[in-house]
Structure formats: C-alpha cells, structure tokens
C-alpha cells in the first residue's frame, strides 16, 4: 500500500481506492493525529509526522492534484487554527512534495524535491587617479521611501508563494503608475503594456525573457495573463480551487523571475539605493548544472541514517540499495531552475522496502541525500518518478522561497 509516514496515499487493498493524492511537508512535525473530510477530499495528519496527506477517489491530472490538494490542505489548517487545536504551517511549499496520480492508465507516485544552490559574484571597483592614488568614492545617497516598498516587504515576509506574488505584483503596479500614470478610462491591460514599453525603452529587462521573445510580450503573457489575472480574479469554489489558479510551483518560479525585474525597475523609477553582489546568469547556471549532472545516478535505500556532511555512501549501514531504472538530466524547466529525473518501473519489481534515503551520485561522489524519516512506501503503484530540482539562489538577491 502506497504511503508516507504510514499514512495511505492510494488505499489499495481497502474498499475505497484513492486515485489522487498529495503529501505536503509541514514546517514542523504535527502535534495531533486527525482525519477530516472536506467535500470529496480526505485529509490526514499524524502525530510526529512531518507530512499532511490529502487524497481523493476521483482521478485528477497532476496539476489539478497539486492545485486542489494544496488548497484543501490550507482549508484544513484554517479550520484547525480557528478551533485552537493547533496552528500548523505547510513547509517548503511548491518545492518538496509527493504526488499520486494516473497517467496513461498507470498509477504514478512522484517525489518532487527542489534544493537551492546559493551562488554569488563579488566585485569590487577601485578608481585610480592620474597621480596613481585611489580616488575616494562619493558617499551613498540618503535613504528614500516609496510606497511600493511596503508591498515588497510584505511579499518577502509571506509564508505563501501565492500571497508573496500578489504583494509583489501590487508593488509593481505602484512603481509603474508613479512613472507612467494610467489615463482616464484606459483599460488595465493597455496601460500596463504602455507603461512596460516605456520602462523597457530605457531599461534592459530582456535577460529574463526566452530567446526571440520581446520582454513586454513575455511579461504580459507569463506574468499578467497567466499569474496576475488568475491570482487576483480566480474564484475559489466550495469544493475545489478554480482551474485557472496557478499552482505553488508556478508561483515560486514566477516570483523568482519577477523579483529580479521588480528590483531593476525600482532602482530606475524610484532612484533607490541598491547594494548586493553580482548575479549569476540563468544561462551560465544552466550550462554549469548540465556539466555537473551529465552522469547523474539515483539510488534508494531503507537505511534510516540521518544525512550528514561527512556522508560518502548511499547506505552507511550497508542496507540493500536499489538503483533507478533510468537517471538523467532534464535541463532547464524554468528560469534559473534545472531538473534531474529518476524512474523506477515498479510493475517489474517485487515488494520493495520503504525508501528512507534517495541519493544523487555523480560518478563515485555522493552529491545529495533526500531523507524521508518515516519512509515512503511505493508498493501498489506502477511507476515511481523522482523529480530533483536545483534552483539558482543569487545570494545578493532577496529570498525566493517561503519555508
């Protein structure tokens, strides 16, 4: 029976089979055990577990499970907070979770684990005069406050990628309207395109757009239409999230992209002070990761050894090790984010032990360990997929994760 921390994902072997499920990490281990039904969803918490499981008997597509399951989990936590049972938060939203879904008539368990790669470039300039002496640099300009900074701070303080993006976008509209006021009776989309076009004529934002795509068109499609409008206008129904609502994965990727442009526009429009290290480019990061993971290998083991910096073995306790049927580097899946994927065809295997350590190796070097304390049981499904994401984190930039 597929499960995590002993909480069923699929219910195989019982009267009700759950065809769709999501297991979300919690910020801290649950202090209560509880099973609740919200509409067609059944949700479970278990004392001492770091997961919340939401499952549904009807088959849903992967994106639907991620969107609706996350919303139902938030609703349960809203209820528990109001009842003063416990205040629980979802941890690593959009970055780490487990999904159960059906694809092509086969049941798939997918583990998503995304890690940040902190990188930076530190550059120091020294101006030398004709006499060979160092020229003193002018003092920094005085502090300056503009109203957009409030929205910026609120977005950085948020625990939810969706709320963070909402606040960041509101701040962007404030920035743009200060530079390019909206004309009477001008439609929002028309004003936004005009304002962005005017800003882009004096500020190069094109590095965040795919090759061959104009930056204004990209922002209008990727951020305004797909993100802003859906986040601000989607109506949450009584039993499920609106189909147009972005997933937390979408929101994380879009936020990381928008905040780069936001800060560049703020410095240009608001004449704000700026400090920070140099930025690693997305293209440079993708090339580097492609080289690192060209020979990536995944393994799984029931070994319950807690990961340590001194780890060099897949299984320090010499437990049985299962090699994935295939391990490969996918490449870029979003700006500044690359993925590797490992696949196990469970239909060709017998009963497998719990997965407690899923490791990434490059050659003979152990690169990372994904530790599942209570264990992941993948038995009963047809396919296990391990999606390992690595996201560039420019340490000279603000945070782009919310856990």
Q: Given a cut of 90, is residue 133 above it in pLDDT?
A: no
Reported as a pLDDT band with limits 50, 70 and 90, residue 121 is low
Mean pLDDT across the stretch 333-360?
94
Reported as a pLDDT band with limits 50, 70 and 90, residue 129 is low
Reported as a pLDDT band with limits 50, 70 and 90, residue 239 is very low
Q: Given a cut of 80, is residue 143 above it in pLDDT?
A: no
73 versus 87: the higher-pLDDT residue is 73
Across 78-82, 88-92, 108-112, the highest mean pLDDT is recorded for 108-112
Reported as a pLDDT band with limits 50, 70 and 90, residue 127 is low
Q: Given a cut of 50, is residue 369 above it in pLDDT?
A: yes
Reported as a pLDDT band with limits 50, 70 and 90, residue 238 is very low
145 versus 332: the higher-pLDDT residue is 332
Could you read off the pLDDT of 303-323 as tens digits, one per residue?
999 999 888 999 999 999 999
User: pTM for the full model?
Assistant: 0.80
Reported as a pLDDT band with limits 50, 70 and 90, residue 240 is very low
SS (H, E, C) the chain: CCEECCEECCCCCCCCCCCEEEEEEECCCCCCCEEEEECCEEEEECCCCCEEEEEECCCCCHHHHHHHHHHHHHHHHHHHHHCCCCCCCECCCCCEEEEEEEECCEEEEEEEEEEEEEECECCCCCCECCCCCECCCCCCCCCCCCCHHHHHHHHHHCCCHHHHHHHHHHHHHHHHHHHCCCCCCCCHHHHHHHHHHHHHCCCCCHHHCCCCCCHHHHHHHHHHHHHHHHHHHCCCCCCCCCCCCCCHHHHHHHHHHHHHHHHHHHHHHHCCCCCCCECCCHHHHHHHHHHHCCCEEEEEECCCCCCCCCCCCCCCCCCCEEECCEEEEEEEEECCEEEEEEEEEHHHCCCCCCEEEEEEEECCEEEEEEEEEEEEECCCCCEEEEEEEEEEEECCCCCCCCC
Mean pLDDT of the chain: 88
Sorted by where each begins, the domain ranges of the chain are 1-103, 106-123+279-403, 146-276
297 versus 213: the higher-pLDDT residue is 297
Reported as a pLDDT band with limits 50, 70 and 90, residue 205 is confident
Q: What is the pLDDT of residue 274?
A: 66
Could you read off the pLDDT of 167-183 as tens digits, one per residue?
999 999 999 999 999 99
Q: What is the pLDDT of residue 92?
A: 86
């Amino acid at each position: 029976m597929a499960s995590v921390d002993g909480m069923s994902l699929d219910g195989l072997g019982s009267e009700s089979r759950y065809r769709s499920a999501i297991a979300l990490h919690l910020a801290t281990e649950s202090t209560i055990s509880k099973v609740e039904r919200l509409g067609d969803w059944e949700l479970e918490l278990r004392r001492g577990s770091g997961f919340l499981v939401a499952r549904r008997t009807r088959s849903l597509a992967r994106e639907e499970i991620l969107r609706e399951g996350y919303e139902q989990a938030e609703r349960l936590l809203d209820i528990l907070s109001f009842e003063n049972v416990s205040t629980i938060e979802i941890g690593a939203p959009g970055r780490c979770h487990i999904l159960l879904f059906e694809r092509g008539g086969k049941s798939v368990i997918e583990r998503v684990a995304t890690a940040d790669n902190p990188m930076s470039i530190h550059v120091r300039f020294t101006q030398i005069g004709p006499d060979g002496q160092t020229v003193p640099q002018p003092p920094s300009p005085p502090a300056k406050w503009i109203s957009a900074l409030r929205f910026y701070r609120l977005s950085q303080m948020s625990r939810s990628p969706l709320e963070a993006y909402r606040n960041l976008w509101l701040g962007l509209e404030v920035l743009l309207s200060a530079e390019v006021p909206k004309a009477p009776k001008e439609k929002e989309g028309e004003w936004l395109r005009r304002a962005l076009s005017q800003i882009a004529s004096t500020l190069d934002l094109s590095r965040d757009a795919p090759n061959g795509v104009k930056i204004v068109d990209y922002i209008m499609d990727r951020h305004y239409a797909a993100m802003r409008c859906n986040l601000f206008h989607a109506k949450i129904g009584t039993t499920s999230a609106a189909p147009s609502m972005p997933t937390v994965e979408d929101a994380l990727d879009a936020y990381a992209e928008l905040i780069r442009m936001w800060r560049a526009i703020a410095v240009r429009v608001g004449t704000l002070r700026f400090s920070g290290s140099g930025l690693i480019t997305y293209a440079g990061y993708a090339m580097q990761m492609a080289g690192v993971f060209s020979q990536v290998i995944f393994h799984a083991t029931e070994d319950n050894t807690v990961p340590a910096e001194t780890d060099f073995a897949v299984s320090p306790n010499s437990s049985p090790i299962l090699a994935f049927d295939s391990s490969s580097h996918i490449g870029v899946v979003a700006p500044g984010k690359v993925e590797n994927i490992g696949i196990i065809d469970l239909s060709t295997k017998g009963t497998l032990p719990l997965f407690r350590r899923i490791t990434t190796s490059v050659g003979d070097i152990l690169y990372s360990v994904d530790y599942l304390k209570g264990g992941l049981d993948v038995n009963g499904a047809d396919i296990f997929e391990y999606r390992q994401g690595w996201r560039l984190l420019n340490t000279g930039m603000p945070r782009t994760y919310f856990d």
